[in-house]
């Protein structure tokens, strides 16, 4: 694979230039050009890759404006299906042992490592960055999965407690996953930002519905392919592509979504979304108003690796038990 390909392997502009080159070569009497097989970017729901039930798609362009691919434009119905798939997957996933969840997340890192080049090309194309920057984002995405994987069997030790109550009771507090978490992924950082938001609720044992970046959705869809083959049970992660204006309010208003990560919610929508979330007391993990979505540095581990983002999607359960003969 060429290391300097402006639009990446999935890029249509790159592909069409190659086609033109080969057509020229064919005209010159060389072997006939091979036509590339393009990928259809679909949704990832319940472990399967459906198109939107609405039959709609939208054109995704590279940063330089050249067209990359048609992405599925998910509907409200697709979103409700995704929430249902997540709810169905939640008991199984939250019932796994912590160590097992950790191994599954680590497995995601293993498979991502094997697809590094593909992701470098896709991130470069989606974000309009040089290969070196894309590579840094992909490498950090892999390491971030590993970092969060390690938390699986430790978060309970760090957040849990035994409480010395002033009576003959054994009293302890343990964290449990919240349930179904809706994630509005960062708009700008198509892969690293997404992974940084996705891994924390996942390692905690939640099932998630993710709205991928609207303008840069393709790496998210490819990440779905990694998740589908890496022991993450179907339905634990559901990835939708589409329009924020259309989907975010439905996600925020859905009564079977227990918590919301609003990092990628566009600033003008923010208050309305939080009002919707209040209808059924959703827990909301917000991006601080002082933090810019587009300028946040996801490569900075100190800022972007935070156990409190796991804690945001955990409920604390305190158990009292008498001590006596």
Partner 1 sequence: MTAMATDSETSVTRTGARSPNSWGLGDGQAIPWEYAPAPEAREIVTLKERYGLFIGGRDVAASDGSTFVSVDPSTEQPLAEVARATPADIDKAVRAARRAQRRAWGPLPGKERAKYLFRIARILQERSREFAVLESMDSGKPIKESRDVDVPLAAAHFWYYAGWADKLDYAFPGRVARPLGVAAQIIPWNFPLLMLAWKIAPALAAGNAVVLKPASTTPLSALLFADVCRQADLPPGVVNIVPGPGEVGMSLVMHPDVDKVAFTGSTEIGKKIQRGVAGTDKALTLELGGKAANIVFDDAPLDQAVEGIVNGIYFNQGEVCCAGSRLLAQESIVEPLIEKLKDRLSTIRVGDPLDKNTDVGAINSKSQLEKISELVQSGVDEGAEMYQPACDLPERGYFFRPTLFTNVAQSHRIAREEIFGPVLSVLTFRTPDEAVEKANNTAYGLSAGIWTEKGSRILNMASRMRAGVVWANTFNRFDPTAPFGGYKESGFGREGGMHGLHAYVRLEDR
Name the residues that contact partner 1, by CB under 8 A.
Answer: 98-99, 102-103, 106, 143, 146-147, 149-154, 157-158, 170, 301, 307, 321-325
Shortest reach from residue 60's CB to partner 1, in Å = 33
Cβ-based neighbours of 265, under 8 Å, separated by 6 or more: 184, 244, 248, 273, 287
Shortest reach from residue 171's CB to partner 1, in Å = 10
Of the candidates 36, 29, 39, the residue with the CA atom closest to the CA atom of residue 14 = 36
Shortest reach from residue 168's CB to partner 1, in Å = 8
Shortest reach from residue 208's CB to partner 1, in Å = 21
Shortest reach from residue 163's CB to partner 1, in Å = 14
Residue 37 vs residues 10, 44, 119: alpha-carbon distances, Å: 10, 21, 18
CB of 90 or CB of 148, closer to partner 1: 148
CB of 159 or CB of 284, closer to partner 1: 159
CB of 257 or CB of 304, closer to partner 1: 304
CB of 149 or CB of 265, closer to partner 1: 149
CB of 36 or CB of 146, closer to partner 1: 146
């Amino acid at each position: 694979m060429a290391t300097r390909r402006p639009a990446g392997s999935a890029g249509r502009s790159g592909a069409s230039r190659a086609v033109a080159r080969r057509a020229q070569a064919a005209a010159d009497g060389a072997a006939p050009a091979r036509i590339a097989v393009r990928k259809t970017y679909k949704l990832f729901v319940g472990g399967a890759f459906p198109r939107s039930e609405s039959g709609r798609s939208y054109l995704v362009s590279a940063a330089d404006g050249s067209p990359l691919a048609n992405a599925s434009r998910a509907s409200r119905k697709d979103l409700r299906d995704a929430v249902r798939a997540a709810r169905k997957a939640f008991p199984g996933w939250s019932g796994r042992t912590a160590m097992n969840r950790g191994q599954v997340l680590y497995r995601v890192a293993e498979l991502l490592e094997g697809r590094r080049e593909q992701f470098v090309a896709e991130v470069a194309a989606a974000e309009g960055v040089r290969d070196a920057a894309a590579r840094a984002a992909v490498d950090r995405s892999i390491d971030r999965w590993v970092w969060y994987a390690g938390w699986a069997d430790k978060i309970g030790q760090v957040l849990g407690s035994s409480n010395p109550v002033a009576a003959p009771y054994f009293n302890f507090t343990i964290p449990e996953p919240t349930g179904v978490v809706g994630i509005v992924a960062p708009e700008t950082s198509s892969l690293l930002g997404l992974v940084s938001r996705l891994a924390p609720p996942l390692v905690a044992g939640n099932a998630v519905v993710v709205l991928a970046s609207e303008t840069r959705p393709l790496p998210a869809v490819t990440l779905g392919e990694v998740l589908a083959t890496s022991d993450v049970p179907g339905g634990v992660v559901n990835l939708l592509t589409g329009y924020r204006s259309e989907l975010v309010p439905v996600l925020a208003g859905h009564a079977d979504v227990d918590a919301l990560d609003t990092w990628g919610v566009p600033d003008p929508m923010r208050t309305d979304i939080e009002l919707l979330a209040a209808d059924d007391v959703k827990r909301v993990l917000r991006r601080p108003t002082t933090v810019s979505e587009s300028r946040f540095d996801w490569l900075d581990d100190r800022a972007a690796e935070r156990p409190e983002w796991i804690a945001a999607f955990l409920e604390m359960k305190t158990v009292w038990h008498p001590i006596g003969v």
